[in-house]
Each structure stands twice: as structure tokens, then as C-alpha cells.
Structure 1
Amino acid sequence: MLKLLDATTIRDLTSVSDLAAVIGEAFVPARDGSNGFVRSAVQTPGGQLLFMPAAHGATLSVKLVSLFDGAPAQGLPSVQGLAVVFDAHSGQPLALMDATTLTELRTAAVTTLATDLLARRDARTLAVIGAGVQGRSHLEGLAGIRPWDSVRLHSRDMDKARRLAEWARSAGIEIELHDSVASATEDADVICTVTSATAPLFPDAFRPRPGAHISAVGAYGPTRRELPSRLVADASLFVESTDAVLREAGDILIPIAEGLLPPRPPMTELSAVLSKEHPGRASAEELTLFESVGIPTEDALVCDLLYQRAVQTHAGQEIPF
């Protein structure tokens, strides 16, 4: 029998904060050189299909995700997909999962972990830019890592921002709506960008307050970015995978092309911070930047966790296979 886990079942089995507590395990293989899983893509005129194989625990998994900017105009998410889980010993197919929800929760969990590791302990002002699916999941995760005095939200679609603020308040997160990026991020201790922007959200001269932390999540691909080059060049860079960032992250690749960063700029992987090999934030005044791209081992960890919990709790639908 094959387990089928839809979005509702996945949300019943886990949450952003739950995953943030364990997602660090996904970076452990990177320390012994065994994390060689590479994301590949098939391009079409309208978008692309990503293929992400990896292993964790007793399972192998493959996540297939489509990225189509025009999908929302058809009433569909811009990110859609499936994950297939196999037994690591026999190769038997075990489960099909909604990869859209899996990706949403996993992405926010990694950002939550990175922000908790890198933001100042006395950070009290959080600004989230973007009110889509990732805006909600990131608010859910980030709300619990500091005793925030102010949580600010801005989106180019303020109707979506108002709806998200209503949800957040129902979840006990008090939100301040701002009508501009500049207003939302002024003197913010932590800035999290979760947009579909293709060009910088900030002017070239933008500088956050001393000691700020930025998590850049939304832009995917070597030609897209959320941050201006000079801001990136001035920050201490933290990543999931250096190699993945140098293949995929426009926030880093564009400043390299402009000569503001060297071809292989200094970047610290989260695994080094988690293992205490690197201290993370070096000073109270340092500007830290986490550039999120996502790596297959994160998805594999979540797939394994969801499958094991589904078996233990008899969750999900079973279909003959």
C-alpha cells in the first residue's frame, strides 16, 4: 500500500516550529562530504520543473516541484509539486506527498533556524516583506524565536497583507501593517524577505541598523534577487550550501558579476554554525545575511519525518500499489 499525504494531513503531522527544532539534522551530512545531492531543472517557456533526490534515515525521496510565475493568474500556486518516498533498503515506493505544503513549511523552518542562530539575542523588531504563502509560514516560525515588541508586515498587495494580518492576529501574533518597504524596515533588527521580486526591494543606498540580520528567501534563480549588490557585499554571508548558492542565488551571483564580490566570496554554511566550528554572529554591530536556496537533504528529512509519523498515527490515505 502507498501512503498519500495531502496538505491537511501534512499540517496535522507537523508545523514550522516543530520542523525548525529538527531541520538542523539535514546539514550534518555536509560535514563529511556525503551531501552530494544536486537539484536539476527542466526549463519550459512558462517556467521550470525542479528535480531533487536525497536520502535521510530509512528512506529515499524525490521532490518534483514546478515554478510557474503565471500560475496564480489561473488560480493556482506559483509553486506546485509532489514528493515520492521510497524504502532505502528495498527500494519499495512508500508514499506520495503534497510537496507544495512540504516546501512551504520546510523553507520557513530553515529560515527560522538560521534567524535564531544569527540574529542578536536582544532583537525586538521584526519586518516581514511579502504576504504570500511563505509570508504566513515565516510569520508562524519567526514569531516564536524572540519576544518581539514589534512585528511589521508589508506587501505590494496590501489586500493580501491585511488578510495575512488578520490570520496572524487570530494566531496571537500582533501585526503592524506598513505601506512601504522603507517604513516596514526602518530600524528593524530582523528583516525577512519572502517575495517573488526579480529586482531589489531596496534602493542601492539602503543600510539596515547596525547589528541587523536579514534572511533573503523569496528570489529563486541566478537572474532574480531581492537585495541590492552593495548591501550583500557589506554583509557577513551565511548559507545552506556554498555550491548551491553559487549555482542558483541571484542575490550573490549578480554582485559577483558586478565585481562587488569575488568569484567565490566568503560564506559560512549553517552546518559550521550548528557544529560550533564557526561562532555565527561575530559582534553586536555585524550585519548578517542568510541567503536561502533550499537543498534536497532538507526535503528528505521532512519526507522521512512525515512518513514515520503517518505510519505511527495511521494518518493519510492508503492506496493500492
Structure 2
Amino acid sequence: MAVLVLDAAHVHELLTPGEALHAMREALAALARDEVHQPLRMVVRPPAAAGLMAVMPSYRAGENAAYGLKAVCVFHDNPKIGKDAHQGAVLLFSAATGELQALMNASAITEIRTAAVSAIATDLLARPDAGDLAVLGTGVQARAHLMALAGVRSLRRVRVAGRDPERTRRFAADAEKWVGVPVEPCTSAESAVREADLIVTVTTSAEPVVRREWIADGAHLNAVGSSIPTAREIDTATMAAASLFVDRRESTVNESGDYLFAAREGAIGPDHIRAELGSVLIGAAPGRTDEKEITLFKSLGVAVEDLVAADHLYREAQRRQVGAWVTY
């Protein structure tokens, strides 16, 4: 049979921000309705290796049934050489025969779907008038999140902070062109976060980059950068003070350093998780309850997001005759 191969450019062409929002709503709703079989990701961390590999399988039942598998390597030093930290592939398989249908660039899918899910969380949980955005990080996900959040809230101001002052200045200058509002480069995370009502953390830091005392009442946070148990971006006080929403409970209590550090310190437990985002989306769980509440979405990224994105891309590539078809 013929297998579809999509590179990063194809993925960006076929999975626009608007289409990504639609696809991720579909994925989160399917997860909330128990239409997805999705084991925890398996992570391979050789002691002396430079990076790690994560393997994320999933199955979605129903009319668009399919198997998906993402195999991705994470190399946090890659941005220093101009490469995305995430490198890998998403595979799509027929639910009827098990045949391989497509091989797609995982970096591009991860970039787009992660930001789309954060935009959904922001749309569901942030105050309607929120528009003062702080972005911590200057990499691929910083750009993707800035663009995605601009699609669900009217941004008034953006402040960005990163480890490299010159890179932060360049990012801010470029970002003004992307979103058409003032973007201020900041010399510290604190100066970016104070007074913001939307906060995004997309760093590779192993230690907290956000402190509770910096966060304004009523703010919404998307904590995205840490997806392993040994690293966190959010301090314990913030985790304890915020109403916590997650993409998947099972993943959070096993894989999220932001959650696990705070839990080990006795500040929170499993009951602190208000709801999975999909449950809020389908109306099965409440979201924000008052204007002064701090809401926090802890994003880990789950396999069904990659599966639904790949299924959308496969159908669009067939419809528009995009990509390379290889006999397999």
C-alpha cells in the first residue's frame, strides 16, 4: 500500500491554527467521553545519553477509529544549534487492518497541537477580559502559544522573558509583527509576570520560573514546558493556590514535575485537580468560578492529541493532494 509522508512544511500548511483548535477540541472531548484507549507514555532515559525518547501510543474508537503512535526524542540543548528540542515522527495506522497509513513530522505536530490545547484552556478558564500576556520562554512553543492565544483573547500587551537577553529582544521585535500589539522584552520572569492576567511558561527550566507572590488575582496560567517528573516551572505555593486543570489525571499524578514536587512537599494531592480539560469542554465539570480565582492548566501533552491531529492531516492531504506517497 501507499504510505503518506508529511514533512514539517506540509504539517503547517494543512493544520492551520483554526483547524488545530477544532481538532484538539475533538480530541479532548473524545478523551472525556472515554472513547480513547491511551496508556501512559513510556520514556527511555539512558544514564549517559544527551536526550531522552518518549513513546506515546493511542487508539480512538468510533466513526474515525484509528491507531496512533508518536515516537519523539527530546534534546533540550537543540535550540542552541537552531533545532527544535522535539524530534520524531507520528505514525497513523488503520483501525480495520493495522496497515501503516502515514508518517508525519512530530516536531511540527507537537508545536501546533500543544499551543492549540493551551488556547482551548485559555478560552475556557481565563477571564473574558484577560489580555495582558506574559510569555516565559523564547523558543518554538513561545511563538506558537503567542499566536494561538491571540486567536482566543484580544491581547492588549505582551511581555516576554528568556535566558538570553539578545534572543529575547529579537523575539519581542518579531512578535510585534505577528500579533500587532506592543511586545516588551523583560530582563526577568518577575517583571514579565507581575500584573499579567495571562501567563504562559514554555521553558526548559528544571526549577520554578514562576512565584506565587508575582501572580495577580484572577490570572490564568498555562504551564507547558515541563513534561517529566524531575523538572518543574511552577513553585509549590502557586500550585497550591491555583485551581488546577489538566489534560489527563493519570498522566499528571505520574509524570508532571509541577504536580509531583508540590505533592511531595505535602501541599497538594490528587483531589486538588479540579478537572480534566475535556470534562470542562463537554460541560461535565466546572471551570472558573469567580473573577479573582487563579486558574492553572498543566499541559503534559497526550497521545490522542497527536492521533487526532494525524487523522486530520491524513484526510486533508488526501483531499488536497499534498505530501509524498511512498510504496511500503
TM-score tier, shorter chain, comes to: over 0.9
Q: What is the aligned partner in structure 1 of residue 20 from structure 2?
A: 19
Give TM-score, length-normalised by structure 1: 0.94
Kept in 2, the 8 Å contact 1:65–1:82? The answer is yes
Q: What is the aligned partner in structure 2 of residue 43 from structure 1?
A: 45
Q: Which runs of 5+ in 2 are unaligned?
A: none
Per-residue CA deviation, residues 76-122 of structure 1 (Å, 9 max, x unaligned), is 43210111111221222111100011101111010011011100001
Kept in 2, the 8 Å contact 1:26–1:297? The answer is yes
* Of 260, 272, 276, the match for 1:265: 272
Q: What is the aligned partner in structure 2 of residue 177 from structure 1?
A: 185
Kept in 2, the 8 Å contact 1:128–1:193? The answer is yes
Q: What is the aligned partner in structure 1 of residue 94 from structure 2?
A: 87
CA distance in 2, matches of 1:216, 1:264: 19
CA distance in 2, matches of 1:103, 1:196: 15
Q: What is the aligned partner in structure 2 of residue 52 from structure 1?
A: 56
Kept in 1, the 8 Å contact 2:21–2:116? The answer is yes
Identity within the alignment, %: 37
CA separation of 1:263/1:143 partners in 2, compared to 1, >3 Å: closer, same or farther? closer
Q: What is the aligned partner in structure 1 of residue 206 from structure 2?
A: 198
Q: Does 1:212 align with 2:219?
A: yes
Q: Does 1:102 align with 2:104?
A: no
Q: What is the aligned partner in structure 1 of residue 194 from structure 2?
A: 186
Deviation of 1:72 (Å)? 4.1
CA distance in 2, matches of 1:195, 1:18: 26
CA distance in 1, matches of 2:179, 2:231: 34
Kept in 2, the 8 Å contact 1:16–1:137? The answer is no
CA distance in 2, matches of 1:55, 1:310: 21
SS at match of 1:95: strand
User: After alignment, is 17-26 or 137-146 more displaced?
Assistant: 17-26
Q: Does 1:61 align with 2:72?
A: no
Deviation of 1:207 (Å)? 4.1
Q: Which runs of 5+ in 1 are unaligned?
A: none
Per-residue CA deviation, residues 109-143 of structure 1 (Å, 9 max, x unaligned), is 10011011100001121111100010010011011
Give TM-score, length-normalised by structure 2: 0.92
CA distance in 2, matches of 1:209, 1:95: 45
Q: Does 1:7 align with 2:8?
A: yes
CA separation of 1:308/1:58 partners in 2, compared to 1, >3 Å: closer, same or farther? farther
Q: Does 1:136 align with 2:143?
A: yes
Kept in 2, the 8 Å contact 1:117–1:280? The answer is yes
* Of 164, 167, 190, the match for 1:157: 164
CA separation of 1:74/1:156 partners in 2, compared to 1, >3 Å: closer, same or farther? closer
CA separation of 1:176/1:76 partners in 2, compared to 1, >3 Å: closer, same or farther? closer
SS at match of 2:263: helix
SS at match of 2:213: coil
CA separation of 1:181/1:139 partners in 2, compared to 1, >3 Å: closer, same or farther? same
Count of residue correspondences: 320
Kept in 2, the 8 Å contact 1:125–1:190? The answer is yes
* Of 132, 148, 158, the match for 1:125: 132
Kept in 1, the 8 Å contact 2:29–2:279? The answer is no
Per-residue CA deviation, residues 18-47 of structure 1 (Å, 9 max, x unaligned), is 312331111223334343312112222322
CA distance in 2, matches of 1:75, 1:135: 15
User: After alignment, is 125-134 or 142-151 more displaced?
Assistant: 142-151
CA separation of 1:258/1:48 partners in 2, compared to 1, >3 Å: closer, same or farther? same
Deviation of 1:263 (Å)? 5.2
SS at match of 1:21: helix
Deviation of 1:217 (Å)? 0.3
CA distance in 1, matches of 2:37, 2:13: 31
